[in-house]
Structure 1
Amino acid sequence: MWHGVFIRLAMRCCFLAMGLFGMSAQAAVQHSHAITLRGAPALAEGFRHFNSVNPDAPKGGRLRLDALGTFDSLNGFINKGVAAEGLNRLYDSLTAGSEDEFGTRYGLLAKRIIRDPNDASWVIYELRPEARFSDGHPLRAEDVVFTFETLLSEGAPAYKAYFADIASVTALSPLRVKFRFKHKTNRELPMTVGEIGILPKHYWATREFNRTSLEVPIGSGPYVISDIDPGRRISYARNPDYWARDLNVNRGRYNFDQISYQYYRDGSVAFEGFKANQYDVREENKAKTWATEYNFPAVTDGRVILQRQRHENPAPMQGFAFNTRRTPLNDLAVREALSLAFDFEWANRALFFGAYTRTTSFYANSDLAAQGVPSKAELALLKPWRKQLPAAAFGPAVTPAKSAGDGYDRANLLRAQALLKQAGWHYRDGALRDVAGTPMRLEMLLVQPEFERIVQPLRRNLARLGIDLSIRLLDVAQYIERLRQFDFDLTVTGVPASLSPGNELWSYWGSQSADTPGSGNLVGLKSPAVDALIARITQAKSRDTLVTSVHALDRVLRAQWLLIPQFHIPFFRIARWDFFGLPNDPPRYGLGLDSWWWKGSPNIAQER
């Protein structure tokens, strides 16, 4: 996950007593202000601030953002309800990441991180004594223990998959907490545990954790909830007593006195809200809107600024996901045939103004994307699973077929027809039918009306093959619940990509998560080969080993046709009202919104 530049490991080592660690007194361990996957942190101990911030940014003003749908819960850690946007601002984690650096985390709640670089079976986080929750209660090791025990027993399924390798979490003292892991080789997990927001044990002692609630929770982060209009609006106020406001990892960040989220029914209504100055910043994800609709007066007179901000992130794999738990989508030939019916070249020209690049890899726009035929090292990882994997995994990396871009795509539809015949489906009496005469009928589940125009051309091409694809548009709550229960045929999804993939892969692709309601494994993949590759990725000790392992995983996922790949762009499209100051240098891997500051507006009273 959700970052790092990898250079040689050069960190100071110390010796700790055998009684503390249960290790030999001669065992060398590291005491550091940061933790990395591989190599040394880019910022030395005592650094003043992250690179892509203005350390002298003024505090004040407000930031108004948008959200879609509704919310009915202020508990984002469980698999129930629809959590409000922005809840992450309530909670501090043991470490903080920089949007300029992958694979490195710097101490936040933790003053010191203690570990053995040759033994990933444990890590110790030493807390800052000044750490406090927003009610003034000290944050201590018992809160860290409570957080992980609670998330593993009552949290959303993703936590259970992500942290399945945790053996124990123990408070060694009020300010020291030790994580023990089941294996010595999962190199990412000692860093990953530092990324989770820490919950207050004293607050939850009198409350039921695993239920939705609109009761304002207690956290330790830079903001507290100041106002709620259930399902419509939520506002956060900067905590003037925030314990970590002067830490180097926070300097120049969290500058707004108020951050609010206004909820809208769908993206079209939200765009009208932006034009009416109801919120301040919009990250545009529709090429047509960006190309044709940002011509309203506030843009032409300079009150709204349009910018394209490049980034170095690998592109997420956005696509039409197949639920392989269901017939006929459990047939690889059927999935490949359906994929041939999506005419990207026509859609890019006719719908997207040529703005997009076809996504061909689960790690597009990065060196982790598999290219050409497998290397010897990749083949060595794939060969033990030859009988279980599609033959295509051993050849040139699978890529979506190109079309003539004419909207009919006859050549690809003929290929699709041949694959469907191979799978036992034949066109008869106006429909594509199996041997029992049952027609192929599928449903596309959507939550955003804007996607209908993208699905309709796919629907038309499938109809030419005799396949009936219906479109079901749901509200947010219904949509989330159906996905949690895997109650769908196809849906639009996005699988996040990272320059340093690791334990999150278990939730997306691990066999154990396939039947766990609410997991990230929407497609229902169960593959011992994929499980083995994920294990190797999490255990990689060098960048070369990681890249080779991810290449092999990318080949296998692409050869399975688990979804129909869509498209991506290597930059953020941002529209913002001209109320803000921004650092001179944007971050390499993020939008950097938390480092913006309020520049001012003469009409702030009217704009609220």
Structure 2
Amino acid sequence: MAVLPRRDFLALGTAAAAAALLPGRAFATIPTGVKLHGLSAFGDLRYAADFKHFDYVNPDAPKGGQMNFAPPNSTLNQSFLTFNTLNSLVLKGDSPPRTELCFDSLMASALDEPDAVYGLLAESVTLSQDRNGFRFSLRPQARFNDGSPLTAEDVVFALKLYKDKGHPNLSKALRHMTEAVAVDPVTVNLTFNGEQSAQNILSVVAMPIVSKAFYTTNEFDASTMKPPLGSGPYKIGRVAAGQTVEYERVADYWGSDLAVNRGLYNFDRIRIDFYLDRQAAFEAFKKGDTHFREEATARVWATGYDFPALKDGKVVKREFPGEKSPSMQAVALNQRRPQFRDVRVRRAIANCFDFEWIQRVLFFDSYERSHSNFERSDYKAEGLPSPGELALLEPFRAELPPETFGEAVMQPVSDGSGHDRKLLGAASKLLAEAGWKRAGNFVVNEKGERLRVEMLAEEDGLVRIFTPWAENMKAIGIDASIRQVDSTQYEKRQSDFDFGFNMLAWSIGATPTADGLEILYDSRMAKTPGQRNYPGTESPAIDALIVAAGKAGSRIELVTALRALDRVLRARLDWIPTYYLANHRVAYWDMFDFPEQKPDYGFPVETLWWFDKGKAAKIGKG
């Protein structure tokens, strides 16, 4: 845990609290009027302008082979279980993971730096004197995969399109953009209103650039199985709707020799098969139909990897270090429903989650207990608030729970019995204080209405975790039930906030942006379909702390703002933290090679690893 210098805390004393919440100067340490090869929220870049490749790649990795890949993460409207559209850029429909491989962006992230991007489509970027304007000089050789040039007009078209019709995560990040102009075919000017954070532009430059010509003749916001025209290292190949998608490497990809791409995108083909049932997906891996799998079920990891291919050495089972990024897995109680608005009710329900029993019986002691929305990072609050945190919190003391200003709130520890009488007794007392009185087997309010909690689940693994939680709720009179629905219905109910109790696992990035924080916590997102403010949080204090984080001029200021935010979230219990996994649990058929030193801020095996012909031949996969 990083220790912050006392002088930096004191610099944010009470008298400076209001100033700390006001917009600051984005990229204050970066020179203006100079062409830059990269950007970082706080100025420092690891790689010089003439770098040849990222340190975490093998620049000589061979091209070829195929990886049948089970993706462990997704973005925007992507689904793990099925798909009914190839358009991942809008809210409508379920698309397959990794469609982003088909598109290039203005700049690309470095996975060994927490907040740095380097030129991809853009050869350079120049900041205006007021730091609200960005001039991108595009690479003249940039091409779409049909050979047509990718120009400034495409960049402008794409960003304006997203702002108007794109997935809410895209349109929200562009709300501060006031102008996008194609100065000439290779020059783009983007202008912002001055309210954006330094991190905001890092989100914008990572957005996929689509073809103006393609979407002039094809409807952008349609749910369609027509492959889009891209410019990236892969294109969509064979598709069986809802079952299989293949991404084929573009042999003459225009950007293959760029420093940001060298050593990446090595497989000729990446195939994703979709299984509605987790066990069926595991059986496909055991047979070799799937080549790489990150195991999400502790029971299977502990007891299921005893099949012949693993015993014969054809399959490798190992763990890789997790990222140095905050980890969030938590439950939201939907405060749009009145029964969940009282924090005492939320605390009572939290008391019914017996992590210690689940850890022993279901998790085989493989998980860690979450207490924070920023586990595994310096942003997790510890102990009493620092002077800097207090400076940010004091203006909102009247609004915030008293616990905000004490020791950072921790989740209760049970006796591991699965039915801790002390915790359940405390939960019953909290319900009574909140006005829920026992009437027979249930607690009811003054109108005689039961306290109902419907737990929304998409797959069997969650049902197993929710079942003991529900049983403890029933023991204290809550009418708890579990509703398991299919993937399409699950995504729709999430997007429409049509649930009472829902779990979310979320990666917020090593340097959380205001945009990313707003998706989860900002008051405006409580009423915006498709966002992840599942609890319906509406708090001026939280909104102000997000602004403070977005305007941080140094990592020290960012850490201070996020620790203060963490204290508020934990005291309010908008999200009930559950558990997290410290490492990646991975199994793969021994036909790949990779750099042994994993980057700190990502684990994209499908783009970083490569096919090893010799290994594949030895296990009969050549």
Q: Which amino acid aligns with 1:570?
A: A
Against the structure 1 CA distance between its residues 28 and 490, is the aligned structure 2 distance closer, same or farther, given a 3 Å change threshold? closer
How far did 1:312 drift? 3.6
Q: Does the CA contact (< 8 Å) of 2:368 and 2:582 recur in 1? A: no
Determine the C-alpha separation between the residues in 2 that align with 1:521 and 1:35. Answer: 29
Residue 38 of structure 1 is aligned with which of 42, 55, 71?
A: 42
Determine the C-alpha separation between the residues in 2 that align with 1:552 and 1:315. Answer: 15
How far did 1:29 drift? 2.6
Q: Which ranges in structure 2 are unaligned for 5 or more consecutive residues?
A: 1-30, 72-79
Q: Which structure 2 residues correspond to residues 10-21 of structure 1 after superposition, within 5 A?
A: none
Q: Does the CA contact (< 8 Å) of 1:123 and 1:178 recur in 2? A: yes
Determine the C-alpha separation between the residues in 1 that align with 2:239 and 2:353. Answer: 42
TM-score (norm 2): 0.91
- Could you report, residue by residue, the CA deviation over 1:74-124 in whole angstroms, capped at 9, with x for unpaired residues? 1101010101222011001111112211110010001001115x7431212
Determine the C-alpha separation between the residues in 1 that align with 2:341 and 2:187. Answer: 49
Residue 612 of structure 2 is aligned with which of 599, 602, 605?
A: 599
* Secondary structure class of the residue paired with 1:120: coil
Q: 2:148 — aligned with what?
A: 137
1:90 aligns with 2:102: yes
Residue 553 of structure 1 is aligned with which of 565, 569, 574?
A: 565
1:267 aligns with 2:271: no
Determine the C-alpha separation between the residues in 2 that align with 1:324 and 1:495. Answer: 20
Q: 2:550 — aligned with what?
A: 538
Q: Which amino acid aligns with 2:63?
A: K
Q: 1:110 — aligned with what?
A: 122
Residue 60 of structure 1 is aligned with which of 55, 61, 64?
A: 64
Q: 2:21 — aligned with what?
A: none
Against the structure 1 CA distance between its residues 605 and 412, is the aligned structure 2 distance closer, same or farther, given a 3 Å change threshold? closer
Q: 1:125 — aligned with what?
A: 136
How far did 1:602 drift? 5.6
Number of equivalences: 581
How far did 1:185 drift? 5.8
Determine the C-alpha separation between the residues in 2 that align with 1:362 and 1:138. Answer: 44
Q: 2:398 — aligned with what?
A: 387
* Secondary structure class of the residue paired with 2:377: coil
- Could you report, residue by residue, the CA deviation over 1:516-566 in whole angstroms, capped at 9, with x for unpaired residues? 111121221111111111111111111111111111111111111122211
Q: Does the CA contact (< 8 Å) of 1:321 and 1:563 recur in 2? A: yes
1:585 aligns with 2:602: no
Q: Does the CA contact (< 8 Å) of 2:314 and 2:619 recur in 1? A: no
1:254 aligns with 2:265: yes
Q: 2:584 — aligned with what?
A: 572
When structure 1 is superposed on structure 2, of 311-320 and 283-292 the one drifting more is: 311-320
Determine the C-alpha separation between the residues in 2 that align with 1:228 and 1:535. Answer: 43
How far did 1:580 drift? 0.4
Determine the C-alpha separation between the residues in 2 that align with 1:260 and 1:325. Answer: 40
Determine the C-alpha separation between the residues in 2 that align with 1:104 and 1:579. Answer: 32
Q: 1:189 — aligned with what?
A: 200
1:50 aligns with 2:54: yes
* Secondary structure class of the residue paired with 1:299: helix
When structure 1 is superposed on structure 2, of 125-134 and 312-321 the one drifting more is: 312-321
Q: 1:19 — aligned with what?
A: none
Q: Does the CA contact (< 8 Å) of 2:455 and 2:501 recur in 1? A: yes
Against the structure 1 CA distance between its residues 54 and 471, is the aligned structure 2 distance closer, same or farther, given a 3 Å change threshold? same
Q: Which amino acid aligns with 1:42?
A: R
- Could you report, residue by residue, the CA deviation over 1:18-60 in whole angstroms, capped at 9, with x for unpaired residues? xxxxxxxxx9433211111113210111111111111111000
How far did 1:605 drift? 12
Q: Which amino acid aligns with 2:568?
A: V
RMSD: 1.7
TM-score (norm 1): 0.93
* Secondary structure class of the residue paired with 2:188: strand
Residue 286 of structure 1 is aligned with which of 297, 317, 323?
A: 297
Q: Which amino acid aligns with 1:292?
A: T
- Could you report, residue by residue, the CA deviation over 1:116-169 in whole angstroms, capped at 9, with x for unpaired residues? 5x7431212111000000111111111111111111111112222222211121
Q: 2:223 — aligned with what?
A: 212
Determine the C-alpha separation between the residues in 1 that align with 2:56 and 2:619. Answer: 31
Q: Which amino acid aligns with 1:445?
A: L
* Secondary structure class of the residue paired with 1:305: strand
How far did 1:182 drift? 1.2
Against the structure 1 CA distance between its residues 603 and 312, is the aligned structure 2 distance closer, same or farther, given a 3 Å change threshold? closer
Residue 470 of structure 1 is aligned with which of 476, 481, 501?
A: 481
Residue 155 of structure 1 is aligned with which of 158, 166, 178?
A: 166
Q: Does the CA contact (< 8 Å) of 1:120 and 1:187 recur in 2? A: no
Q: Does the CA contact (< 8 Å) of 1:447 and 1:473 recur in 2? A: yes
When structure 1 is superposed on structure 2, of 305-314 and 79-88 the one drifting more is: 305-314
Q: 1:366 — aligned with what?
A: 377
Determine the C-alpha separation between the residues in 2 that align with 1:421 and 1:119. Answer: 56
Q: 2:186 — aligned with what?
A: 175
Against the structure 1 CA distance between its residues 113 and 377, is the aligned structure 2 distance closer, same or farther, given a 3 Å change threshold? same
When structure 1 is superposed on structure 2, of 157-166 and 354-363 the one drifting more is: 157-166
Determine the C-alpha separation between the residues in 1 that align with 2:179 and 2:540. Answer: 27
Q: Which ranges in structure 1 are unaligned for 5 or more consecutive residues?
A: 1-26
Q: Does the CA contact (< 8 Å) of 2:367 and 2:582 recur in 1? A: no
Q: 2:332 — aligned with what?
A: 321
Q: 2:6 — aligned with what?
A: none
Q: Which amino acid aligns with 1:597?
A: W
Q: Does the CA contact (< 8 Å) of 1:99 and 1:592 recur in 2? A: no
* Secondary structure class of the residue paired with 1:384: helix
Q: Does the CA contact (< 8 Å) of 1:90 and 1:223 recur in 2? A: yes
1:346 aligns with 2:350: no
Q: 1:453 — aligned with what?
A: 464
Q: Does the CA contact (< 8 Å) of 2:295 and 2:586 recur in 1? A: yes
Determine the C-alpha separation between the residues in 2 that align with 1:288 and 1:225. Answer: 35
How far did 1:297 drift? 1.1
Determine the C-alpha separation between the residues in 1 that align with 2:584 and 2:48. Answer: 30
Against the structure 1 CA distance between its residues 166 and 253, is the aligned structure 2 distance closer, same or farther, given a 3 Å change threshold? same
Q: Which amino acid aligns with 2:451?
A: M
Against the structure 1 CA distance between its residues 445 and 264, is the aligned structure 2 distance closer, same or farther, given a 3 Å change threshold? same
Q: Does the CA contact (< 8 Å) of 2:325 and 2:601 recur in 1? A: no
Q: Which amino acid aligns with 1:486?
A: F
Q: Which amino acid aligns with 1:339?
A: A
Q: 1:20 — aligned with what?
A: none
Q: 2:425 — aligned with what?
A: 414
Determine the C-alpha separation between the residues in 1 that align with 2:573 and 2:303. Answer: 34
- Could you report, residue by residue, the CA deviation over 1:170-194 in whole angstroms, capped at 9, with x for unpaired residues? 1122111111111166211222211
Q: Does the CA contact (< 8 Å) of 2:32 and 2:126 recur in 1? A: no
Q: Percent identity?
A: 39
Against the structure 1 CA distance between its residues 158 and 369, is the aligned structure 2 distance closer, same or farther, given a 3 Å change threshold? same
- Could you report, residue by residue, the CA deviation over 1:184-237 in whole angstroms, capped at 9, with x for unpaired residues? 662112222111010110100012111100011100100011111111001111
How far did 1:315 drift? 4.1
Determine the C-alpha separation between the residues in 2 that align with 1:125 and 1:371. Answer: 42
Determine the C-alpha separation between the residues in 2 that align with 1:306 and 1:495. Answer: 25
Against the structure 1 CA distance between its residues 136 and 407, is the aligned structure 2 distance closer, same or farther, given a 3 Å change threshold? same
